[in-house]
Structure 1
């Protein structure tokens, strides 16, 4: 089929292959394949099964062939900060650690022996998170130095998968910007910082801008898959792809990329590196066309996902929303950004313990627990909105919620109520849409970022929520 594109969008809990093409001025999507993803426990660490993920990528591609829907162009995005190291034979070195692994505990203190937090923020613009790649690599240097010595190439996860398909090694800018090792002015690695940290400078490849064609499948991969396609470099950090698909042509819109994480922020044309921004823990991650995603990580629907895992998958997300709505009068609130919610053995017990320790009423049922989470998320969004308005000295009136979490009507209503903003929700597959749009700009089927966002507005239903809501909360 002429003009057929494929987005391979892999998140921390699932992955999907979504075909896209243009038809009468609209972007048409078709999901071809979906698969589960999860961290696994190995030798006391949380790791990713990277071989499984690549097999799933190939299964989805083969399904396109079987269905007679062979894309001409494909691109891959994943979550940020996690990486692969390759040896001199281009083989993986060791396990691919997951960002929720605890090996980075207190590693920030080791980095601060070399560069203090204030200087690091001014240099990279990236918020301090214990799982940032800079801390992961420092943990590797301190705990598994031999693995680091063997390394010849550093690749973020989408870079690695694209290498496996094409044989071409390249580092993409938006995902690399999340590492805490990129200079926001040069848009390239801060090799001086890398050297100061005692990391091997030569393993980091010159950063490449998204929206370009990387290479064809290798001959061997084309034969295995059953067709030949070109691999494009999208904004391979999934949030960067999602923000590309923002259904707003305004330059001053707030957004939440809502999924496992809630990424709350706005777009800036230059990094905002003040000490006040650092203290509020806002980050300046690279976006498409070298825009900056000035945002704050908020824990997100990970907490609901974990409650569902505990209580049973027979509870759909819509059912959990319904139960929470019935319990909105439950009075307790938690700090969703507290570290005890990052990777607890039991999310329900973590929520209960927080309420006990803060002398609040302790939730017991799934409905009460979910109500606490949804209300607390909305409260967290309000705080982030107030902070960003104060930092940038500007007022916002609209908030766009994109990604899978945009389907959570209750959370959208609570968000409008808490923030006092008009909330627009959708598209739910924003990351895949942004992935496709970057490929379309690489080929010239879409000419600009503005045209891409106008296409999103025309192609997808966007729900509207006013802050004058009938929702009653404690």
Structure 2
């Protein structure tokens, strides 16, 4: 039987289990399970259905076995910043509140006298986002100090899912780096920040790097899914995995991981924590082999996903993405535009109404049809990509000559063309399953299928179709 590996790739709106194989240096992917991820309201907060996630991870392992696969290793990646606290017995404390919840709205201002953001950025290199883990922990400390007092362990979402599979607790580097509690230079928990904020240092465990063997499936999980395998840490932050799968042609390429969020940036050998970088709100997230993902977070396809979901609730049938793209094309001359970075788009009750209100507030044309709403979102995303690349060039002192898009958004050739036009740079789109590929690449390098990251990236060019859009 051919050796295979399993990536469990979970985003903010859905998850999937993807089997990866290598033959003669060519990778192949096989999706064996897919599920929806959702937010639930609980005790006045937006929370993740964490038990549902755990069950879906396990069901996906069983589905892989039922489909005839016995993966040698499995790796899990998810979104960043969110976490769970566990007591001494390993039992979760409190609710798994999601980053889209509003509990952190005023935390930056409240913390400024204790820990000015200028200092926080200089030490960690992590951009300001209202939902950063550092603010979530301080909001929790304010609302439920008893939960922090009772905690023995801090696990981010993929750390917790790994724990539920293996019984082993570990904090993985790429995800830990997004907390704004890890030193950009030290690559370890920053004790000064933790102490200043009055957080319990004991809950933060030793940080492990991608490629680390965590352990085997617990007896209960093994018996249910029908096989045993080794759980390996990939870059558990989905963007960290996605950046690995970019088949860049040279070092002048901009990377864009396009999914619920758009993460646009480059790989650097050293962090950039200058005041100018802070002002531009670029982040220095930890990557595989201690590369730095220097990037900007842009709202991404969340806005489109929300419009699609909302239209489905109104009509009983969700329009397909091609239908929404066609509607935008029919309204291609519409000039509505908003700032996708506005927090008003994080979790609005109606994305359609919020887009219209933002256009009105900004003195821009107000969309009246679905096509005009969609075109407004496309205008806004392509504009924000172009602005981020200009900032990136200024901050790094480099000129970039292409954009490489991976992830589900790479399939949207209308957005790709608009991005090429806005930036006047060629766009290379694909592979689609960038995050799962990056997850699998770490497992395959560890297993000796590839010599190193360069070897694995070379395989991507041979294995998958990369489409090109040139500026018009």
With normalisation by structure 1, the TM-score equals 0.97
Aligned to 2:52: 52
1:208 aligns with 2:212: no
| Deviation of the 1:43 alpha carbon | 2.3
- Structure 1: unaligned runs, 5 residues or longer: 470-474
Q: Contact 1:248/1:457 (CA < 8 Å) preserved in 2?
A: no
1:423 aligns with 2:463: no
Aligned to 1:23: 23
Secondary structure of the 2:93 match is coil
Structure 2 CA distance for aligned equivalents of residues 123 and 278 of structure 1: 11
Structure 2 CA distance for aligned equivalents of residues 129 and 341 of structure 1: 13
Structure 2 CA distance for aligned equivalents of residues 272 and 444 of structure 1: 33
Aligned to 1:243: 243
Q: Contact 2:58/2:221 (CA < 8 Å) preserved in 1?
A: no
1:331 aligns with 2:368: no
| Deviation of the 1:233 alpha carbon | 0.4
Deviations 1:287-338 (A, max 9, x none): 1110001000011111111111111243111110111011011122111111
Secondary structure of the 1:304 match is helix
Secondary structure of the 1:182 match is coil
Secondary structure of the 2:374 match is helix
Aligned to 2:457: 453
| Deviation of the 1:438 alpha carbon | 0.6
Deviations 1:217-262 (A, max 9, x none): 1223211221110000000000000001111152331011001111
| Deviation of the 1:108 alpha carbon | 1.0
Deviates more, 1:101-110 or 1:407-416: 101-110
Q: Contact 2:86/2:152 (CA < 8 Å) preserved in 1?
A: yes
Matches within 5 A, 1:149-188: 149-188=149-188
Deviations 1:375-399 (A, max 9, x none): 1100000100110011111111110
1:441 aligns with 2:445: yes
Q: Contact 1:100/1:131 (CA < 8 Å) preserved in 2?
A: yes
Structure 2 CA distance for aligned equivalents of residues 112 and 41 of structure 1: 30
Aligned to 1:106: 106
Deviations 1:125-168 (A, max 9, x none): 00000000000000011110001111100011111111111111
Aligned to 2:361: 357
1:314 aligns with 2:290: no
Secondary structure of the 2:215 match is strand
Aligned to 2:393: 389
Deviations 1:414-471 (A, max 9, x none): 000000111000011000000000111122222211111111111110000101x2xx
CA RMSD of aligned residues (A): 1.0
- Structure 2: unaligned runs, 5 residues or longer: none
Structure 1 CA distance for aligned equivalents of residues 450 and 86 of structure 2: 35
Deviations 1:54-91 (A, max 9, x none): 00011111112222211111000000000011101100
With normalisation by structure 2, the TM-score equals 0.98
- Runs of 4 or more off by more than 4 Å in structure 1? none
Aligned to 2:193: 193
Q: Contact 2:173/2:207 (CA < 8 Å) preserved in 1?
A: yes
Matches within 5 A, 1:263-412: 263-312=263-312, 313-412=317-416
Secondary structure of the 1:96 match is coil
| Deviation of the 1:44 alpha carbon | 2.0
Deviates more, 1:104-113 or 1:224-233: 104-113
Deviations 1:180-231 (A, max 9, x none): 0001112111122111110010110111110222211122321122111000
Q: Contact 1:93/1:147 (CA < 8 Å) preserved in 2?
A: yes
Q: Contact 1:379/1:418 (CA < 8 Å) preserved in 2?
A: yes
